[in-house]
Amino acid sequence: FLDEEEDRSGHVFAAVQVVVDEAEAKVLRTDASSDQSRINQSFVMNSLQQAVENKWSTLMKMPRNGHEMLEAMTAFVDTLSVWEYDILGVLPVEYKLKPWYTTLYFSLLTKYIRDNMSNPAAIAKMTSDEQLAATNWIEKYVGVLEHLEMMSTISSADVQELQHLGALFQKDSVVKMKDHLVDFTSKQAMVLLQDPFPECDPDDGTVFTAGPTDLFKCLQQSLLGMSQFSTPGVILDLAQACIRAVQDYQTAVLVAMTVAAWRPEDKDKSKDKDKGKDKDKDKDDRDGPPGARGEEDGLPDWRERRMAWLCAFVNDTKRCDENLDLLEQAFLRKLPDDCHEKLDFGSVAESFHDTANSLLTLLSTHLVHDVFQEPWPGAATYVATVADYARDLRVMLDHLFVRRLWKKMATGMAAAYLLHLSTQEFNASSAQTLIPEDLNALAGFWREELDDSHLEGIHEAVQCVGKVLQAEDVAALGPAVDNICVRHNDCPPGYLQILIGKRSDWDKKVKHEASALVDATYDKHGIELRRRESSLRSVETMDSVFASVDGLQADGKRKDKKEKKEKREKKGKKDKDKK
């Protein structure tokens, strides 16, 4: 009974016709009483109930997971149309079949949901996809009851309880979805870095990763699970989870691309630190990103690969921004008009610009350190090296970011050059010759890449410092320091005092007077002490030559401090071994 196979449907309706005929004129009679028909309301109702329960038992033997359960339940609900359109009209009205079978179906379905899907243990096992599917199933089932005009036969409390279960599934599914998104985004950057190099666009040569595609595909799939009946609150909650996922992904990328995650000496220290803590831990987990493995693994030099990945992640920010617009439109379609203003993706869109800026700073710093290797190669070698990098970067980077990188590189290179000056001995005569020559050679390259206004600012900053080294005596030094305080008050006074200490043509007394003059001049201009102290905050943006010098100086001091500490530790170990 209620079998949908074509070859048996004729027998079903033949049996129903017998029931109809018997109800009108009793033909089938029992042996015990010639007046009583063997087919009566009780017999028919019992037979129908047995048929429904058999159908239910057959369908529910197959499910192995949440999705298969819902498929079986859907197949069961589909048989309601057989009652409504084929059976109800041919059986006597006094049987009152509609309220009877509606209640029978509802009780079987809701009992199964309570026993197998809505208890805490079952909810914990269900995936977020399964829970969203369950929510959608409940909404569609209620819709079927309304369409077949069966709602009046079920109490409103029972229907509300079923809908409450749907809301429970949906709420828990969003929680699980958040956890999934956090887990996905935190690992995605590391997964991408398993490859030696990022992907390359065959048309223009720009590099990129699959990160934005994978990320927004995951977010779109999360949203697709929301049905037309999902409440605005749930959809907005999911939107916040998506925003958090995008932000976490950007943070994970920045962390994965820090130089400490790539530089071999930092990886070795990390390895020593972790030694003995967890011997079975995977090597890549200890040594930084898999993409940071070096030539010992048969991969190219880590500097070359880090540069390519930095370019790719910078380009990705543009693709993320484009994908974000599509995701926002998808959320707006799910929300009623009066909730649109509550959806705020603006902060995420701005964060892509910040992430690109941070990655460009990392890329610029990477190139500055790579080009400016000790000893100073000379302006001609420097220009040739930078030109070689520039040729590759013009291809790998999207044109939108090239100019922004050049600005950071020009500023960073000027800062590195100023730091180089602080390591050399000068007299007034050599400074008057060498610094202008170097400055002209460096500016000659950048002049083709940058507008005059930006380049002039950098050029002028280096010239100001040059005048400190070119001053013949303390009297001539005064106007040079005064000019720096007026035009470049972020220049650390300690840096100027280091330059003074490197003057080979001044004796100790003159150097002391010159250093005192620097302090007095800064005090005269009211430059606060906090502005004179080393600060790493400004290095993040690389917008100021002197802020960058300040940061590079601080990096150098930390490096020297590390080296001294390592020497002390080695000496202590040797003394201990001797004892």
Q: Is the pLDDT of residue 550 over 50?
A: yes
* CATH number of 518's domain: 1.10.357.70
Instruction: For residues 111 and 186, state if they share a domain.
Output: no
Instruction: Among 25-34, 75-84, 496-505, name the one with the lowest average pLDDT.
Output: 25-34
Instruction: For residues 366 and 402, state if they share a domain.
Output: no
Instruction: Among 297-301, 377-381, 505-509, name the one with the lowest average pLDDT.
Output: 297-301
- Residue pair 307/301 in contact by the 8 Å Cβ criterion: no
Helix then strand count (H, E) for the chain reads 23, 2
Q: Is the pLDDT of residue 338 over 70?
A: yes
Instruction: For residues 147 and 185, state if they share a domain.
Output: no
Q: Which amino acid is located at 152 in the chain?
A: S
What is the C-alpha to C-alpha distance for residues 202 and 423, in angstroms, rounded to an integer?
45
8-state DSSP, 86: I
Instruction: Among 40-49, 95-104, 139-148, name the one with the lowest average pLDDT.
Output: 40-49
8-state DSSP, 37: B
* In a domain? residue 414: yes
What is the C-alpha to C-alpha distance for residues 573 and 566, in angstroms, rounded to an integer?
10
What is the C-alpha to C-alpha distance for residues 188 and 184, in angstroms, rounded to an integer?
6
DSSP symbols for 216-284: HHHHHHHHHT--TTS-HHHHHHHHHHHHHHHHHHHHHHHHHTSGGGT-HHHHHHHHHHHTTT-TTS-HH
Instruction: Among 192-206, 458-472, 549-563, name the one with the lowest average pLDDT.
Output: 549-563
Query: Could you read off the pLDDT of 424-441 as tens digits, one per residue?
Result: 888 989 888 888 888 888
What is the C-alpha to C-alpha distance for residues 361 and 76, in angstroms, rounded to an integer?
61
Residue 185 confidence (pLDDT): 82
DSSP symbols for 272-320: HHHTTT-TTS-HHHHSS-GGG--GGGT---HHHHHHHHHHHHHHHHHHH
Instruction: For residues 325 and 400, state if they share a domain.
Output: no
Residue 490 confidence (pLDDT): 81
pTM value is 0.69
Average model confidence (pLDDT) for the chain? 78
What is the C-alpha to C-alpha distance for residues 359 and 258, in angstroms, rounded to an integer?
9
Residue 537 confidence (pLDDT): 31
Mean pLDDT for 287-310 is: 63
Instruction: For residues 184 and 74, state if they share a domain.
Output: no
8-state DSSP, 338: G
Q: Which residues contact 168 (CB under 8 A, 6 or more apart)?
A: 118, 123
Instruction: For residues 134 and 227, state if they share a domain.
Output: no
Instruction: For residues 111 and 63, state if they share a domain.
Output: yes
Instruction: For residues 364 and 454, state if they share a domain.
Output: no
Model confidence band, residue 378 (pLDDT cutoffs 50, 70, 90) = confident
Instruction: Among 151-160, 232-241, 556-565, name the one with the lowest average pLDDT.
Output: 556-565
Top mean pLDDT of 20-29, 57-66, 466-475 is at: 466-475
Backbone dihedral region for residue 143 (phi beyond 0: left; psi -120 to 50: alpha; all else: beta): alpha
Tokens (6 digits) for 168 = 């429970």
Q: Is the pLDDT of residue 279 over 60?
A: no
Number of domains in the chain: 3
Q: Is the pLDDT of residue 576 over 70?
A: no
What is the C-alpha to C-alpha distance for residues 407 and 452, in angstroms, rounded to an integer?
12
Model confidence band, residue 542 (pLDDT cutoffs 50, 70, 90) = very low
Residue 570 confidence (pLDDT): 66
Where a domain ends, among 319, 340, 371?
Answer: 371
Instruction: For residues 316 and 394, state if they share a domain.
Output: no
What percentage of the chain reaches a pLDDT higher than 70? 75
Instruction: For residues 347 and 478, state if they share a domain.
Output: no
Model confidence band, residue 294 (pLDDT cutoffs 50, 70, 90) = very low
Instruction: Among 93-107, 304-318, 391-405, 524-538, name the one with the lowest average pLDDT.
Output: 524-538
Where a domain ends, among 328, 345, 371?
Answer: 371
* In a domain? residue 116: yes
* In a domain? residue 191: yes
What is the C-alpha to C-alpha distance for residues 272 and 286, in angstroms, rounded to an integer?
9
* CATH number of 224's domain: 1.10.357.50
Instruction: For residues 423 and 303, state if they share a domain.
Output: no
Report phi then psi at 373, rounded to 5: -95, 140
Mean pLDDT for 169-176 is: 80
Backbone dihedral region for residue 195 (phi beyond 0: left; psi -120 to 50: alpha; all else: beta): beta
* In a domain? residue 381: no
Beta-ladder partners of 199: 208
**Higher local confidence (pLDDT), 94 or 509:** 509
For the four alpha carbons of 113, 116, 119 and 123, in that order, the dihedral sign comes to negative
Instruction: For residues 429 and 306, state if they share a domain.
Output: no
Residue 195 confidence (pLDDT): 87
User: Which secondary-structure segment (H or E) carries 208?
Assistant: strand 207-208
Report phi then psi at 426, rounded to 5: -135, 155
* In a domain? residue 282: no
Q: Is the pLDDT of residue 209 over 90?
A: yes
Name the residue among 292, 183, 195 with its Cα closest to residue 248: 183
The boundaries of the domain holding residue 261 are 172-270+297-371
